[in-house]
Structure 1
């Protein structure tokens, strides 16, 4: 499993906040690695 970096988590938070301002729901942020992925929603960051 790919672990999100601090920067990944920070960017996700900023995207969610920006989305709120313009009326777009960010439903997930997927980090893709070699033959695996991680959902920041599943990890509780969204």
Structure 2
């Protein structure tokens, strides 16, 4: 959310963050959760 506030219009992208940190949909951005600090199957 902060990146979109600073950047304004974003055509698209992907965010990979640790479990429990996705705070809702972002327009034009795919949000995925994965293991951190130890990578898991969702990290790849």
TM-score category by the smaller chain? under 0.3
Which protein is richer in helix relative to its size? Answer: 1
Higher strand share: 2
Q: Which has the larger radius of gyration?
A: 2
- TM normalised by structure 1 equals 0.25
Bigger relative contact order, structure 1 or 2 (CA pairs below 8 A, ≥6 apart):
1
TM-score (normalizing by structure 2): 0.26
